[in-house]
Amino acid sequence: MAAWREGRHYMIKGKVWLVGAGPGDISLITVKGLNAIKNAEVILYDRLVNPKILDFAPDGCEFIYCGKLPDRHFLRQEAINQLMVDKASEFERVVRLKGGDPGVFGRVGEEAAFLAEHEVPYEIVPGITSGIAAAMYAGVPVTHREFGESFAVVTAHDKSVDGKPNLNWEGIANGIDTVAFYMGIANLPFICEKLIEHGKAPDTPVMLVQWGTYSRQKVLQGNLANISALAVKEKFNNPSITLVGNIVSLREKLNWFEKKPLFGRQILVARSSSGASELAERLAERGADVIEFPKWKYEIVMPDVQLLEKLPGFKKILFTSPRSCDAFFKTLKERKIDIRKITADLYGSSTTLSAIENHGFSALPKEQIDKDNVLIVGEESMLADKLSFTQQFGSCDFWITGHKVMDDKYLPLFERMLQEADIDTVIFPSSSSVRGLDQGLTNLGENFGAFLQGKQTMVMGKQTAAALNDFYKDHVEIAEKPTIESIIQLAEQVRP
């Protein structure tokens, strides 16, 4: 598709998805929004997007931070608009990721209009807006038959010269039961004054919710007469929503999120592998904010040519993991090697057998393999057990399918997360995670020991504790058993 820019004719290659990421809890993104992220080639994301959601992006996806703060802009809106068009001329799938719902004070109308003007195809994917989600996570539905049948979302700052919102205060004060003001902390005294001036009772309940839907969520309750003073006393800041209405009184009965056993905990899980972490998922389910660091990616490597030539002669092939099995067959396909040349019996662990069968081969449990003339297929880390393999199987050859490397693309994201969160607990699931965190912190310019100071440090077993002792000599909590259940139980019992 052709378009024009600065008098020049150029081609639009792709399409832009304007996606609402939700309010913070990454599980609140829509299925359609998540699919857009999973298929994106480039993502332009805002400050209020939880960076953790970018974990779902494919390898090789380009990240561009467009974050804006009240006192400064990383990229101005005009530059963001043009960047979307530029990227759509380079890539087929461009995602513009915005916090909350892009249509609720997210300037999606301006961005969509710019794309339409430049003939760039686009879709708008709604998200859950923070005025509803933050209130619900604080225990307050925004409508209720007994307390409020009307609800409005209102910006607390607009284009007014003095920065004070120029609104229909009489209509808001007298015609709406429940009002959610977005980013209203700076103008809170003005908002309360105007609502009282136009008829709202001074004792009307008010609730402030900061970082709504995160475990670091903070809630402050008061009324129109005193909430401004309370906010100053408690040093309340944005990002916050201000909910005004009698419906706020329901919080005491309906507060559910803050009752989770790990609510308020900011936990860093040290990672040493790629893929999803069951431990991180389980901790988040129980209410914690979880940062997984560092981020790793898997790189496939090509085997030695001589090994490829020897492939038809092997009588037994042992795959050490499903990923190594998939990488093996992917390499054969890329090298155009006829799989009919494989005459060996194939073996694997219980989790690997199905991966082998998915490639059209029958397989046997690894316990049935006998000695000599064995090709062992696995990741580079298996070489640490090379002696054990040769003792068990005799004559062996090793096909290294790939290795994991730290994905430095995510380092700026982690830096932002660590700045905004207040990590109180660090969990090491394995010995290798100790070395991984040390490497990751070094790449961020952080000292390992200094980072752990003042934080609750937990390890999953004595072997991991011994590995950590080489780096850190202070007190460490050791889970009774090297299991996920045991480390979660320890986290719930021992508070920072």
Which of the residues are catalytic? 46, 68, 183
Distant-in-sequence, close-in-space partners of 237: CB < 8 Å, separation ≥ 6: 185, 210
Q: How far is the C-alpha of 305 from the C-alpha of 54, rounded, in Å?
A: 37
Collapsed DSSP state (helix, strand, coil) of residue 361: coil
Q: How far is the C-alpha of 222 from the C-alpha of 231, rounded, in Å?
A: 9
Collapsed DSSP state (helix, strand, coil) of residue 9: strand
- Give yes or no for a cis peptide into 58 (omega within 30° of 0): no
Distant-in-sequence, close-in-space partners of 356: CB < 8 Å, separation ≥ 6: 319, 325, 346, 348, 362, 363
Distant-in-sequence, close-in-space partners of 160: CB < 8 Å, separation ≥ 6: 166
- Give yes or no for a cis peptide into 165 (omega within 30° of 0): no
Q: What is the DSSP string of 283-335?
A: HHHTT-EEEEES-EEEEE-PPPHHHHHHGGG-SEEEE-SHHHHHHHHHHHHHT
Q: For the packed helices 431-443 and 411-420, what is the interaxial angle rounded to 10 degrees?
A: 90
Q: What is the DSSP letter of 376?
A: E
Are 479 and 461 in contact by the 8 Å Cβ rule? The answer is yes
Strand partners, 316: 345, 374
Beta strands in 121-265 (DSSP E): 122-125, 151-155, 178-182, 205-210, 218-223, 240-244
Residue 211, token pair as written in the block? 């970082």
Strand partners, 368: none
Residue 408, token pair as written in the block? 């430095």
Q: How far is the C-alpha of 114 from the C-alpha of 365, rounded, in Å?
A: 59
